[in-house]
Structure 1
Amino acid sequence: MNKVSIIMPIYNVAEQLEKAIQCALNQTYKNIEIILVNDGSTDESGAICDRYGLKDIRIIVIHQKNAGSGFARNAGLDRATGEYIYFADPDDYFEANLIEENVAKAEETAADMVVFGYIDEVIDKEGKVTKTEKIPKLNGLIVKEDFRNEFRKHYALSPYALWNKLYKHDFLKKHPIRFTNQKVGQDALFNQAVGLDVETVFYHQKTYYHYVFREGSAVNRYRKERFYYEYNIANQFEEWMVYWKKSEEFHDLINQHYWGAMYLELSNLAWEDCPLTSLAKEERVEELMENPRINQAIAKIEIEKEKNSFVKVLILLLRYNKYTAALKLMQTRVTIGKKFQKSFKVIKKAFG
């Protein structure tokens, strides 16, 4: 029975943490080590980790100064002795048979990575829970050539999530694959690095993980480096496709990555705490539109295939250099979404 290392980065999640730790302890697969990395929490998270560390010898607790979830996971990797690595988030939960059943598939097939299903769990402000099952489109063992040819099906299910994947530790060490110091999106960069040379992937069409989103818990604020983070992900994705010699085949996915970076920056500029003046915001958009990759992506997006009318209009405004109008449209979107989020959900549900 091969050992599995469950790595959990922890920062100020005291309310949900015990449930997540208990999920790890309750695994039917017993040959595990649970590495809790307290990333400089200022609440009771650190004390909770220490308390559980005294209860079970399989728990390893690491305390470090706040450095971000990527470096926290690296600290876990440095201590990990398992043949397989599993990353769980401390504000979600997972089934007791997750490790047992997915390790069985990994061992049967010698897969570098196992990808499994999960459940999207949205909790509204009244406590109502809406669950949506997410299952991989692919099934069974896929070797390198098929993984590349069927990449769109892999990409369709949270390709950058860590928590619906089990990784062979030797594969991560061989290449080697680590988390970067990027504060946002380091999970995307990690999975891009995994995908680059992965030889075998097993797709398990069964759900094990519960990805929990609590309405009102997300903090929307201006981040000066937000565009840089997203652009870095887009750029590494393009390099990945070039490495595969598939940049032409997947040109639309490359364009969507660059467009996503621009879209998120427009949203970033619309947050209430953005310190830039209206003129400075417009100049910022103009500057980004001069970037050849951003400009080309927006010019080549197949707008007729876009189902979202808001996105269509936004792309057209940028194409015709209507930057002030694009910013105002995004500002309206952010304001309306904030004030009438619940009303829109009711309407969407009623009219599909």
Structure 2
Amino acid sequence: MTKVSVIMPVYNSGEYLNRAIESILSQSLKEFELILVDDGSTDGSSKRCDEYARKDGRVVVIHQKNKGICAARNAALKVAKGKYIAFSDHDDEYSPKQLEDNYNRIEVSGVDIIKFGSKAIQSYQKRIFRNDIRAFNNEIVTNEQIKKRFWELWRIYAFECVWDSLFRKSFLDQHHIEFNLFFKTGSEDYDFLWHCLGNGASFEFNSSVYYNHYIRLGFSTSAKFHEYTIKTILDRPQILFDYLIDWMPILKENRLEYSYFWLQMVLGSLCHTVAHPACDMSMTQKVKVISDLKESSFFYDWIMDVKLRDLIKLSSLRYGVLLWLYKCGFYKLCIRLYQIQYKKHMK
């Protein structure tokens, strides 16, 4: 019996691939398969995937032309044999008991998805400048309970990533849940999880920390600038909330929480994108993109009336400053705020 299918898209993974694969093959749980989807690598990663398959019968390799992470994960979902699905990025690491501990828990609780703690390790040229632990309280929550506690759970990253989870495969199959090919430069995990929420998923949260997620500026796809990212950010709220359309009256009741969502997922994300050193737009073009957000979907005038003190207490000083600058029409300074952050981390 294959208890878990671990899905890892691989694209020009370089020096990080071996460590990522070894961390999975050395799991205390042995009844799993590792599906490596070589997404058109050109740096020798394809060959390394095949070498692992020859050495370990649990490794399955799919080779395909470069189609992106969503298509790669979907290809693996179609052939996965495990009772549960797990994910890994090609430059991250599993802790030794990650699969065993969470498999045992979800077997007992019977939920659709179990989430566990992770570390977000940010670095530039091998210099680590941030190491955040993302952990949950031990609890089991129904879909109806999630609806009432959505913003609370969203703020602790419960619906952001798929690699800190085990998914019941029968649930995904029953509701035809896969990755949305629209998302080419990030946000595909949000979409996948919100799709699960909209189909009634129940969750268990495990307080223990297992997964090491590395954000390497200059290597990670999410750290690069893509023009398509702007379109993704602008369209993301509509796509995500389509899954939770019946939840919207409840979600909009808490204007402070919703405003924080908009600041982080829309305004902040867009400033982060156009401030990237690789963005070759003129400052005039960047400012227009930012200022036009007031006409975009899911922006509400009452966001500008949120008390800055309450917002800072809920989130951080940065988002309080960002909202104040935006309210005052200082769009260029909104962008400068993120350019300063890039310069600080890439010295």
TM-score, reference length from structure 1: 0.85
What is the aligned partner in structure 1 of residue 202 from structure 2?
200
Residues 257 and 239 of structure 1: CA distance in aligned 2, closer, same or farther (over 3 Å): farther
**1:212 paired to 2:220:** no
CA contact (8 A) 1:119 1:210 kept: yes
Report how far residue 146 of structure 1 moved: 2.4
Report how far residue 253 of structure 1 moved: 3.9
**1:305 paired to 2:310:** yes
CA contact (8 A) 1:258 1:297 kept: no
What is the aligned partner in structure 1 of residue 340 from structure 2?
336
Residues 318 and 45 of structure 1: CA distance in aligned 2, closer, same or farther (over 3 Å): same
Report how far residue 207 of structure 1 moved: 1.3
Report how far residue 272 of structure 1 moved: 4.1
Task: Give the gaps of 5 or more residues in structure 2.
Answer: none
What is the aligned partner in structure 2 of residue 147 from structure 1?
146
Distance in structure 1 (CA, Å) of the matches to 2:230 and 2:300: 14
Distance in structure 2 (CA, Å) of the matches to 1:196 and 1:213: 29
What is the DSSP-based 3-state SS (H/G/I as helix, E as strand, rest coil) of the residue aligned with 1:239? helix
Residues 102 and 342 of structure 1: CA distance in aligned 2, closer, same or farther (over 3 Å): same
CA contact (8 A) 1:231 1:258 kept: no
What is the DSSP-based 3-state SS (H/G/I as helix, E as strand, rest coil) of the residue aligned with 1:33? strand
Residues 25 and 341 of structure 1: CA distance in aligned 2, closer, same or farther (over 3 Å): closer
What is the aligned partner in structure 1 of residue 226 from structure 2?
223
What is the aligned partner in structure 1 of residue 236 from structure 2?
233
Task: Map 1:270-349; keep pairs closer than 5 Å.
Answer: 270-291=275-296, 293-294=298-299, 296=301, 298-307=303-312, 308-320=316-328, 322=329, 325-327=330-332, 329-341=333-345
Report how far residue 125 of structure 1 moved: 4.5
CA contact (8 A) 1:256 1:297 kept: no
Task: Map 1:240-279; keep pairs closer than 5 Å.
Answer: 240-244=243-247, 245-259=249-263, 260-279=265-284
Residues 269 and 204 of structure 1: CA distance in aligned 2, closer, same or farther (over 3 Å): closer
What is the aligned partner in structure 2 of residue 72 from structure 1?
72
CA contact (8 A) 1:26 1:96 kept: yes
Read off the aligned partner of 1:229 and give its amino acid letter.
Answer: T
CA contact (8 A) 2:124 2:345 kept: no
Give % identity.
26
Structure of greater Rg: 1
CA contact (8 A) 1:112 1:201 kept: yes
Report how far residue 342 of structure 1 moved: 7.8
Read off the aligned partner of 2:20 and give its amino acid letter.
Answer: A
CA contact (8 A) 2:84 2:169 kept: yes
What is the DSSP-based 3-state SS (H/G/I as helix, E as strand, rest coil) of the residue aligned with 1:5? strand
What is the DSSP-based 3-state SS (H/G/I as helix, E as strand, rest coil) of the residue aligned with 2:38? strand
CA contact (8 A) 1:252 1:301 kept: yes
CA displacement, residues 270-301 of structure 1 (integer Å, 9 cap, x when unaligned): 34443433443343334332236335364244
Report how far residue 264 of structure 1 moved: 2.4
Read off the aligned partner of 1:283 and give its amino acid letter.
Answer: K
Distance in structure 1 (CA, Å) of the matches to 2:122 and 2:224: 21
Moved more, 248-257 or 5-14: 248-257
**1:94 paired to 2:94:** yes
Report how far residue 246 of structure 1 moved: 2.0
What is the DSSP-based 3-state SS (H/G/I as helix, E as strand, rest coil) of the residue aligned with 1:293? coil
Distance in structure 2 (CA, Å) of the matches to 1:135 and 1:267: 25
Residues 336 and 74 of structure 1: CA distance in aligned 2, closer, same or farther (over 3 Å): same
Read off the aligned partner of 2:134 and give its amino acid letter.
Answer: K
Moved more, 140-149 or 89-98: 140-149
Report how far residue 126 of structure 1 moved: 6.1
What is the aligned partner in structure 1 of residue 11 from structure 2?
11
Read off the aligned partner of 1:165 and give its amino acid letter.
Answer: S
Distance in structure 2 (CA, Å) of the matches to 1:130 and 1:168: 32
Residues 102 and 292 of structure 1: CA distance in aligned 2, closer, same or farther (over 3 Å): closer
Task: Give the gaps of 5 or more residues in structure 1.
Answer: 344-352
Distance in structure 2 (CA, Å) of the matches to 1:275 and 1:133: 34
Residues 273 and 55 of structure 1: CA distance in aligned 2, closer, same or farther (over 3 Å): closer
TM-score, reference length from structure 2: 0.86
Residues 200 and 338 of structure 1: CA distance in aligned 2, closer, same or farther (over 3 Å): closer
Read off the aligned partner of 1:258 and give its amino acid letter.
Answer: W
What is the DSSP-based 3-state SS (H/G/I as helix, E as strand, rest coil) of the residue aligned with 2:36? strand
Aligned CA-pair RMSD: 2.7
Number of positions where the alignment pairs a residue of Structure 1 with one of Structure 2: 338
Task: Map 1:107-126; keep pairs closer than 5 Å.
Answer: 107-123=107-123, 125=125
